[in-house]
Amino acid sequence: MIDRAGLAEFLRRRRESLQPEDVGLPRGQRRRTTGLRREEVATLCHISVDYYSRLERERGPHPSEQMIASIAQGLHLSLDERDHLFRLAGHNPPTRGATSEHISPGLLRIFDRLIDTPAEIVTELGETLRQTPLGVALTGDLTRYTGPARSIGYRWFTDPACRALYHPDDHETHSRVYAAGLRSTVTLRGPDSRAARLQHLLLSRSEEFRTVWNEHEVGIRFNEAKRFVHPQLGALELACQVLLDPEQSHMLLVYTAVPGSESYEKLQLLSVIGNQDIVPR
């Protein structure tokens, strides 16, 4: 059963404990509210202000698991706080670990500060959970995919269009990296895992994947530099730095260019060009 009073109190306390800068929002002037405003929380959680306000007032419909997950992420809750919120709302908490899509507050705090560089948070299967605006400008919106296509590895072998953003000379390396990475994940997570289901799906749908998979390669990795072919900017060579959250198996990928290089100058144009006519990765 939903604990409306407990849910309302917990939401209020969490909202009041956060400052705009904690969640990547500007503070603005004449701020009198203690913590975040309800309007700001609603924006972070991708819900209406009216809906969120009713929850804090012990009113409104019984929130779904999807709604509670969105609120937990928007409020930058820890896993323990997320689980508590689910129970207050009358739901069993989601699983933790590799299958969880709840991003840790520490990783989110770093991500929220990356306002001037392309970056994304991905799962171990290459599913993009968050992108910075410049990340979207570089590769297009990668969070819009559903089903197996959420995985960059799946798209790489089943949708030729996603390869257009990468230098043709690197395509073979990408194929080997994605196959080797999936093999390691299948071995780590077991035959009943999501990784194993993705493997079987690719084996049935891609001849190229079957060929690469049968090489049984492991430990194949990208070079530090990735070569992109942007539809407006042309060739860019960007270093990809990776920060791993081992508890959730999420990775923060940050793309940078050598200062003074041609690629660095092109990155400066990304904020102007935006995400117009980007070919999906």
CB of 71 closer than 8 Å to CB of 97: no
CB of 92 closer than 8 Å to CB of 83: no
pLDDT at 24: 83
pLDDT at 100: 86
Sorted by sequence, the CB contacts under 8 Å of residue 207 that are 6+ apart come out as none
CB of 194 closer than 8 Å to CB of 154: no
CB environment 242-251: b (16+ within 10 A), e (fewer)? eeeeeebbbb
CB of 118 closer than 8 Å to CB of 112: no
How far apart CA 7 and CA 91 sit, in angstroms, is: 12
Which bin fits 46, alpha (ψ -120 to 50), beta or left (φ > 0)?
A: left
Model confidence at 11: pLDDT above 90: yes
How far apart CA 119 and CA 111 sit, in angstroms, is: 8
Residue 228, SS3 per DSSP: strand
Query: Cβ–Cβ contacts within 10 Å for residue 238, how many?
Result: 23
CB of 119 closer than 8 Å to CB of 132: yes
- pLDDT, tens digit, for every residue of 107-143? 999 999 998 899 999 999 999 999 999 999 999 999 9
- pLDDT, tens digit, for every residue of 60-89? 889 999 999 999 999 999 999 999 999 999
- pLDDT, tens digit, for every residue of 27-60? 777 777 778 999 999 999 999 999 999 999 999 8
State the pTM of this model. Answer: 0.86
pLDDT at 276: 57
Closest of 200, 185, 191 to residue 148, by C-alpha: 200
